[in-house]
């Protein structure tokens, strides 16, 4: 048996960064290449000339400032993000499928893209309902009992936030379930997360706090590197900047471009890890139980999770 806990799941992303370091470097390289492509579109193509106007520019006009190639590069960033999420799930749920550093564009990625579109529509729908509810309560209380408006609206907003968190937790495993079962499954997560709210909720809180602290640390580091090196670059604008200034700026740019990949790994890996544990054991997250064989995937194909794993007599599950 192996111990499994929400904390273990929350920090699984760090273990992936170490265990699959070569694949992560490939992901980072692809992201850097796309940003270089966008930069080249700005430097190599004439910018769109806009007529003087007091009206804010349209989206197409804003994108056009980066040249015609940006119309291709921007969608490529979205495609890359979907492929990255698919690669993160693939290394966790199908570790034997290592071709192209787990990255590809196929049916799995198409289903994930559709799921995210459906999820965005659900979020907008729920947000609209909650906004209408809060607005309606505000109007009614302003008419009936104005003195109670503020605290009642605060209570309603708090209930709405709690409800939103509950929905997020219950649907948090939908992407991993869709990937593992090879079918679009928005609400398969609902069944899988039943009786596991507190464990998954704690995992998500730990993961988000960790990501927030890392963002703060990277922001501070970026301010230090960026501020000092940009000042040095400005001071040497008439002469060649020092090698230290150039290296500092390169490190800063590489850090900023690489950050989305690292944060995606830290956010999506725990979801795949938790899905695999729940699909294999069917036990609470803090039970520490793991079976030695392949368990069927609830709502999916039997043996999807176990195809690339072997179990020893003690029940330890090894990655292929």
Q: Which of 123-132, 172-181, 300-309 has the lowest mean pLDDT?
A: 300-309
Render pLDDT for 185-239 as a digit per residue (tens, 0 to 9). Answer: 888 888 888 888 999 999 999 999 999 999 998 888 877 776 655 555 555 554 5
Q: Report which of 79, 307, 304 is spatially closest to residue 183, judged by C-alpha positions.
A: 304
Secondary structure (DSSP) of 174-222: HHHHHHHHTS--SSHHHHHTTT-HHHHHHHHHHHHHHHHHHHHHHHHHH
CA distance 153 to 246: 53
Predicted confidence (pLDDT) at residue 170 exceeds the cutoff of 80 = yes
Quick one: average pLDDT of 280-299?
43
Predicted confidence (pLDDT) at residue 168 exceeds the cutoff of 90 = yes
Tokens 């195809």, residue located: 307
Under a CB-based contact definition with an 8 Å cutoff, are residues 306 and 312 in contact? no
Q: Report which of 112, 164, 77, 165 is spatially closest to residue 272, judged by C-alpha positions.
A: 112
Which letter, b or e, does each residue of 13-38 get, where b requires 16 or more Cβ atoms within 10 Å of its Cβ? beebbeebeebbebbbebbeebbeeb
In a domain, 156, yes or no: no
Q: Which residues pair with 319 in a beta bridge?
A: 309
C-alpha Rg value of the chain to the nearest Å: 24
Predicted confidence (pLDDT) at residue 262 exceeds the cutoff of 90 = yes
Q: Which of 67-71, 119-123, 251-255 has the lowest mean pLDDT?
A: 67-71
Q: pTM for this one?
A: 0.76
Structure tokens at 181: 């079962």
Cα distance from N-terminal residue to C-terminal residue, the chain:
18
pLDDT of residue 315: 36
* Count of structural domains, the chain: 1
In a domain, 251, yes or no: yes
CB burial of residue 237 (10 Å; 0-12, 13-18, 19+): exposed
Render pLDDT for 1-52 as a digit per residue (tens, 0 to 9). Answer: 344 588 899 999 999 999 999 999 999 999 888 888 777 766 655 555 545 5
In a domain, 78, yes or no: yes
In a domain, 231, yes or no: yes
In a domain, 226, yes or no: yes
Which one has a higher pLDDT value, 245 or 213? 213
CA 21 to chain centroid, in Å, comes to 18
Strands (E), the chain: 309-311, 317-319
For the beta carbon of residue 90, count every other beta carbon within 10 angstroms. 26
Q: Which residues pair with 310 in a beta bridge?
A: 318
CA distance 313 to 306: 16
Predicted confidence (pLDDT) at residue 98 exceeds the cutoff of 50 = yes
Domain extent at residue 280: 6-105+198-319
Predicted confidence (pLDDT) at residue 119 exceeds the cutoff of 80 = yes
In a domain, 129, yes or no: no
The C-alpha torsion from 37 through 43 and 47 to 53, rounded to 10°, is: 100
């Amino acid at each position: 048996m192996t111990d499994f806990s929400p904390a273990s799941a929350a920090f699984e992303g760090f273990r992936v960064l170490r265990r699959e370091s070569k694949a992560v470097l490939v992901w980072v390289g692809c992201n850097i290449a796309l940003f270089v492509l966008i930069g080249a579109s700005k430097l190599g193509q004439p910018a769109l000339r806009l007529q003087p106007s007091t009206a804010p520019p349209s989206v197409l006009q804003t994108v056009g400032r980066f040249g015609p190639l940006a119309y291709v590069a921007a969608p490529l960033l979205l495609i890359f993000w979907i492929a990255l999420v698919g690669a993160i799930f693939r290394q966790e749920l199908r570790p034997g499928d290592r071709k192209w550093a787990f990255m590809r564009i196929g049916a799995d990625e198409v289903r994930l893209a559709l799921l995210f579109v459906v999820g965005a529509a659900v979020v907008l729908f729920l947000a609209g309902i909650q906004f209408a509810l809060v607005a309606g309560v505000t109007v009614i209380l302003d008419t009936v009992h104005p003195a109670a408006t503020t605290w009642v609206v605060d209570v309603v907003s708090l209930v709405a936030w709690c409800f939103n968190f509950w929905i997020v937790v219950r649907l948090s495993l939908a992407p991993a379930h869709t990937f593992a079962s090879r079918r679009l499954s928005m609400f398969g997560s609902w069944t899988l997360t039943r009786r596991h709210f507190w464990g998954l909720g704690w995992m998500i809180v730990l993961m988000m706090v960790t990501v927030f602290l890392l963002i703060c640390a990277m922001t501070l580091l970026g301010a230090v590197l960026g501020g000092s090196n940009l000042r040095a670059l400005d001071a040497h604008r008439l002469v060649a900047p020092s090698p230290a200034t150039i290296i500092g700026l390169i490190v800063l740019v590489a850090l900023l471009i690489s950050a989305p990949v690292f944060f995606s790994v830290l956010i999506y890996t725990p979801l795949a890890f938790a899905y695999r544990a729940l699909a294999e054991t069917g036990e609470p997250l803090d039970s520490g139980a793991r079976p030695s064989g392949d368990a069927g995937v609830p709502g999916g194909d039997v043996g999807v999770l176990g195809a690339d794993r072997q179990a020893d007599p003690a029940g330890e599950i090894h990655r292929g």
